[in-house]
Amino acid sequence: MRRSIATVSISGALEDKMESIARARFDGFEVFENDLIHSALAPRQIGALAADLGLSIDLYQPFRDFDAADDRLFRRNLDRAERKFDLMGELGATMILICSNVSPTAATDDAQIAGQLYELAERAAKRGIRLAYESLAWARHVWDYRHCWNIVRQADHPHLGVCLDSFHILSRGLDPKHIEDIASEKIFFLQLADAPLMTMDVLQWSRHYRCFPGQGGFDLPKFLGHVLAAGYAGPLSLEIFNDVFREAPSRDTTHDAMRSLLWLEEQVKLRAVEGLDVASAIGAAAPEAREADVPADAVVAAPAAARSQATPLAAALGRLELFSPPAPPRIDGTAFVEFAVDDGTEAALGRVFSALGFERAGEHRSKRVTLWRQGDTNLVINNEPGSFASEFFRQHGPSICAIALRTDDGQRAVNRATAFHLPRFEGRVGPHETTIPAVRTVDGSILYFVSPELEARGFWDIDFRLAEPANRAIGLGRVDHIAIAAPIESFDSAVLFQRAALGLEPGDSLELTDPYGMVRSRALSNADRSLRVALNVSQSRSTVIARSVSSMHGAGVHHLAFDCADIFASVAAARGRGLAFLDIPDNYYDDLAARFDIDAAVLDRLRMLRVLYDRDASGGEFLHAYTPMFEGRFFFELVQRIGGYDGYGASNAPVRMAALARDTTSLVTPPRGV
Amino acid sequence: MRRSIATVSISGALEDKMESIARARFDGFEVFENDLIHSALAPRQIGALAADLGLSIDLYQPFRDFDAADDRLFRRNLDRAERKFDLMGELGATMILICSNVSPTAATDDAQIAGQLYELAERAAKRGIRLAYESLAWARHVWDYRHCWNIVRQADHPHLGVCLDSFHILSRGLDPKHIEDIASEKIFFLQLADAPLMTMDVLQWSRHYRCFPGQGGFDLPKFLGHVLAAGYAGPLSLEIFNDVFREAPSRDTTHDAMRSLLWLEEQVKLRAVEGLDVASAIGAAAPEAREADVPADAVVAAPAAARSQATPLAAALGRLELFSPPAPPRIDGTAFVEFAVDDGTEAALGRVFSALGFERAGEHRSKRVTLWRQGDTNLVINNEPGSFASEFFRQHGPSICAIALRTDDGQRAVNRATAFHLPRFEGRVGPHETTIPAVRTVDGSILYFVSPELEARGFWDIDFRLAEPANRAIGLGRVDHIAIAAPIESFDSAVLFQRAALGLEPGDSLELTDPYGMVRSRALSNADRSLRVALNVSQSRSTVIARSVSSMHGAGVHHLAFDCADIFASVAAARGRGLAFLDIPDNYYDDLAARFDIDAAVLDRLRMLRVLYDRDASGGEFLHAYTPMFEGRFFFELVQRIGGYDGYGASNAPVRMAALARDTTSLVTPPRGV
């Protein structure tokens, strides 16, 4: 299908916006009138630039408050429209968005509105222009899309149709299934926007909080399913008003935008392939569909004809060309985590790993890279000059520069990610060394995809001279979660990337209080929880999270959590090796005693070892402890999950952030008496 | 009255918060429980620190979800409370806030709730602790303060009373007049918060958008009037949850906080002095009261006894000691505006002034300061080494470092401002030179107050060697408005300062779109509009406004607008002298023709001279033109108001910001042929 975006969705001058839109491979765009008015280019020049860039101008928008109870005002509005038709002629645009009226001068009689729209359509027809009439959620009279469609039907003019906007429909809680009742040739245009679910004035919600499909809380796959089932085959167009996108560089935003449409197209198809009834296939159904063991090609190959009798959607999908990426990777946790260091920090980080029970397990055959290992968990320290890691260090200081996931098929995973506009990454590889498929993520770090064959072929042994294992473990297991501090500009971007490229599903947004500002947190995970990512963002520039964001698109991992089976034993062992843990105040433990019934002996151990505690509604328990920060950049967490606890101890985040804010201890000191 | 503030209102660690609270001369504070839990200090240490700082601990808060439908849970909650009573004993706190219940386990029977509160009060009494029961706006059952009071009355225990919170009452639209029905000895505590008027989920509204009295949209003077009329004489305590305050340095926030209470106390008294019925004295009445020619002392001296029969409020005011600052200044516009420059920018700025029709009217007798004059409007260029201006230049580059207002009594104006916690400013003054009363404002710039006597004594002549006037004017009149770019941390602070110290009244908050983000704007003015200040703030770091904010508390004037009687003549004359005006695109003028019926000849002149146009609902007109920026720091505007237009051309702000964003022209070029 054709893909389009409204210029209001992104930042900058009109010509720069158009260039970014073309660069992200959109087919066309909607001209937001103010962008044109504020432009130094004449409409004819803009039309020519669009043609040069290979972009069609799909819509001129918006024309507001057209109909009028008063005839004199109506005549004036017709004149006003004629001026815009002139301009559209210069521009080369053939469709204009007519919003339902929000002014006190609006007509309130449907027949009158239909009549006035008919008269406008007559004039438009003479110019070869079509009118797309849209119901705004906060309009005075026509705020329901069914009402909008009734008026269009009543006016009955070939140059008048409806424009559907997912925000205006879903924000009012209207059921989108009635879209299928609209005559397909009368759906002139489709605008798509997601939004977080909020209870607030709908105009404010619309103007500031819209986001790309997949970033918010609306069920857009279901919505789009109804529109396609109705027979719509025009462009899928994004119209997003978002305060952060208005500020962020348009070159990044347009790639996010495209990614969101691609994700949406795939979602609609996945549901159809699974044979789900669109009307009942709400968000919850999607993960199963995704996790199901469907071969990559099945999605593409699903014989549309065979299903065309099943539902109108399946029939529509048979006719339409939707995005068909390789299936999402099946992820089985983390293969390794790679740290960028320099000469000044390499040894210090090694001491931390050692205190955490990792042993130095190998030296890279051709690079200054060392492997640290505890059980199945691998950490890599990269200090190779001229490498990606050294460039990363230069920009961000000591940081986590790459994460490798264990996947069923690394090549397919990369192909999927690149289909979603992530750039493939190819590092320098020495002779006989292993190439691991990889992409560069939205925050600039690298994501490797390790296939089982690769590990079966013993890729560690190929690249590294492995040492004899010595048992130095303190009981740490796999990586439980990876916490990322995102700059505000790339928080929603990261959510969408994880969701689209990796098939993770996001949880709720949480608000956490740091002593110096609010932090928003949202976790994503796969179905078996072998990969959990917690994204954090801070509007304030003074929080610990904000300080972990070293640059606009910087290296954002601010802590790495390891699972353990007996946290008390592991913490005690690490302490025995000189590892410091964050000093949680006694007041916290006094309060724990008031909040929970906890065995006094357990409480004493928690307090003694500075381990934090949380309990969920069904009795699941979470015990966790934090280290201080390494060079002010990142830290480590030890976690023990008991009884199906599925969160991250959010209620303890504020005490942790307060402790981090005042902490000045160094991570490792030699144990006493050594 | 005693003044207090909740620790949750400000940022940082508990001990730092307490120090800031003491520094701003509060009498006491409310301990927010999480601040205590997260503190490294034991409760006993915090109690000792409070005593050292001379602060009383007025409230421990909050205790949540106390009552319970289920008896077992109720017993558990009693235990939980006992632990908190232990802690309060250590702390030295004798009152605890009990919030109405928001959980699904809440009791819903009033008698049961009253009974449970009675039992808690019995236990509290044994410890010398009192319970202040508060209805949360989003509580499950008890969300109305009258309901809360009914339950307290029903429980009838001397250690149980109500806590009133203006946000919880006003956010639900409840009429505060019934507060006067509550027995005075049963109002245990009062929490004050303002908030902008918004339509959104009340919990989110409360958690993120509360602000100090005078910064939002609630009628707090009226609210407080009812509370005082009810006989309350306890502390006035601020409890503000605000995302910006959570981030801003607590030393600044606490001064704002104190300023807001002082302002509020004065407002309540002013209304009582004016003999207004509190119940009907809504916001609109305040400006008249303030503008009335009441001598400063009348406010203080108003014989309370004489009025004690009039209203319960007047009687209460007779008993209470409220803040009594000198009356607000009567402001008659701007006496001069002072610019900080260095050797590299002094001449260039002079050329701009000259092109704007100002003439070099005098040289300071002892400093490198020059006076520029057009009619009554004076501009001063300060390049004196070692002066305040030179320090200002060092920090902010070329900027407006001081503004002088014409006032009825400069000394009284300064006394009022310092009573509101603004620091007095005393610059270096040469022998025989004039001292002008001044304060340093919240953005670090200087505000002078020039009395009529000073000008009558010819203070320009005393300090300056004046030149012979040569008529170089191009028709510019007085300063129409001063536009300030505030950093987000000090936007509300600036609103409150202008309102409290200067007696200006704020208008609505507007949202304007810059090509690189949203800008919020709020204008304040005095009644005769001789002083208009427009405050602008941008959350985005990429807008023109954001670029004008040179530092956290930086010099924020980003443009200065001059009135003129014939803008076409003035702009043409300035252009003739080589002054550049911002290039507004032709598309704007095409759109003007669609939006308004404008005479074609007028439209042509607007277009030719790049003058912008706006029209208000009653036909008032606004014509205005902008210069490019001076050194990327500030610019000038020429405005002509016709027919009572009272705004600032907000609808043209986006086209101006777009033009500024792409503008690269220099302000003055020598006129051709010269």
CATH at B68? 3.20.20.150
| Poorest-pLDDT segment among A247-261, B165-179, B427-441 | B427-441
Nearest to B674 by CA among B578, B571, B609: B578
Among B80, B516, B595, the residue with its CB nearest the CB of A594 is B80
Structural contact between residues A299 and A327, judged by C-beta atoms closer than 8 angstroms: yes
Two structure tokens written together for A309:
């009798």
Examine the fold and report which residue of A407, A436, A466 is the final residue of a domain before the chain moves on.
A466
B168 and B26 in a single domain? The answer is: yes
Write out chain A residues lying below 8 Å of B659, CB-based: 38
B669: in domain: no
How far apart are the CA of B117 and the nearest CA of chain A, in angstroms? 19
Nearest to B593 by CA among B581, B606, B610: B606
A505 and A456 in a single domain? The answer is: no
Overall average pLDDT of the A257-280 stretch: 79
Instruction: Identify the band that residue B275 occupies on the pLDDT scale cut at 50, 70 and 90.
Output: low
Among A38, A79, A586, the residue with its CB nearest the CB of B42 is A586
How far apart are the CA of A79 and the nearest CA of chain B, in angstroms? 8
B493: in domain: yes
Structural contact between residues A63 and A99, judged by C-beta atoms closer than 8 angstroms: yes
Nearest to A406 by CA among A319, A477, A475, A336: A336
Residue B481 annotated as binding? yes
pLDDT for res B274: 64
pLDDT in tens, B542-588: 887 777 665 444 558 889 999 999 999 999 999 999 999 999 999 99
Range among A426-440, B427-441, B600-614 rated most confident? B600-614
How far is A225 from A231, CA to CA, in rounded Å? 10
B433 and B499 in a single domain? The answer is: no
Examine the fold and report which residue of B466, B486, B520 is the final residue of a domain before the chain moves on.
B466
Backbone angles phi, psi at A510, to 5 degrees: -115, 150
CB-based contact A517 B207, cutoff 8 Å: no
A562: in domain: yes
List the single residue in A with minimal CA-CA distance to B516: A247
Overall average pLDDT of the A633-662 stretch: 95
CB-based contact B585 A87, cutoff 8 Å: no
How far is B490 from B147, CA to CA, in rounded Å? 38
B47: in domain: yes
A298 and A338 in a single domain? The answer is: no
List the single residue in B with minimal CA-CA distance to A489: B540
Among A87, A201, A655, the residue with its CB nearest the CB of B590 is A87
Nearest to B345 by CA among B397, B296, B406: B397
Residue A559 annotated as binding? yes
CB-based contact B37 A591, cutoff 8 Å: yes
- Chain A and chain B share a number of CB contacts under 8 A equal to 144
A76 and A147 in a single domain? The answer is: yes
A407 and A313 in a single domain? The answer is: no
Helix spans in B92-144 (H) = 110-126
| Poorest-pLDDT segment among A99-113, A640-654, B656-670 | B656-670
pLDDT in tens, A417-476: 999 999 999 877 777 778 899 999 988 899 999 999 888 888 888 899 999 888 899 999
Instruction: Identify the band that residue A274 occupies on the pLDDT scale cut at 50, 70 and 90.
Output: low
pLDDT in tens, A380-397: 999 999 999 999 999 889
Nearest to A672 by CA among A571, A578, A570, A608: A578
A97: in domain: yes
The count of domains in chain B is 3
Residue B558 annotated as binding? no
User: Which residue's entry shows tokens 């009653």?
Assistant: B618
Overall average pLDDT of the B595-624 stretch: 96
A487 and A461 in a single domain? The answer is: no
pLDDT in tens, B196-240: 999 889 999 999 999 999 999 999 999 999 999 999 999 999 999
Structural contact between residues B624 and B640, judged by C-beta atoms closer than 8 angstroms: yes
Write out chain A residues lying below 8 Å of B199, CB-based: 200-201, 204
Q: Say if residue B42's pLDDT is above 50.
A: yes
Nearest to B240 by CA among B201, B214, B267: B214
pLDDT for res A642: 98
Q: Say if residue B381's pLDDT is above 60.
A: yes
Overall average pLDDT of the A262-278 stretch: 79
A670: in domain: no
Q: Say if residue A477's pLDDT is above 70.
A: yes
B56 and B202 in a single domain? The answer is: yes
> What is the interface pTM, i.e. ipTM, of the complex?
0.89
User: Which residue's entry shows tokens 């009795």?
Assistant: A619
Rg, Å, chain A Cα set: 28
B667: in domain: no
A499 and A444 in a single domain? The answer is: no
- Average pLDDT for chain B: 91
pLDDT for res B668: 87
pLDDT for res A671: 56
CA distances to A547, B137, B150 from B154, in Å? 52, 21, 6
- Average pLDDT for chain A: 91
A107 and A243 in a single domain? The answer is: yes
Instruction: Identify the band that residue B89 occupies on the pLDDT scale cut at 50, 70 and 90.
Output: very high
CB-based contact B84 A541, cutoff 8 Å: no
Write out chain A residues lying below 8 Å of B515, CB-based: 11-13, 38
Amino acid at B288: E
Examine the fold and report which residue of A466, A488, A513 is the final residue of a domain before the chain moves on.
A466
B326: in domain: no
Q: Which residues contact A48 (CB under 8 A, 6 or more apart)?
A: none
List the single residue in B with minimal CA-CA distance to A40: B585
Write out chain A residues lying below 8 Å of B516, CB-based: 11-12, 246-247
CB-based contact A198 B199, cutoff 8 Å: no
A528 and A638 in a single domain? The answer is: yes
Overall average pLDDT of the A481-501 stretch: 91
> Which residues span the domain enclosing A536?
478-662
pLDDT for res B487: 84
A272 and A371 in a single domain? The answer is: no
CATH at A656? 3.10.180.10
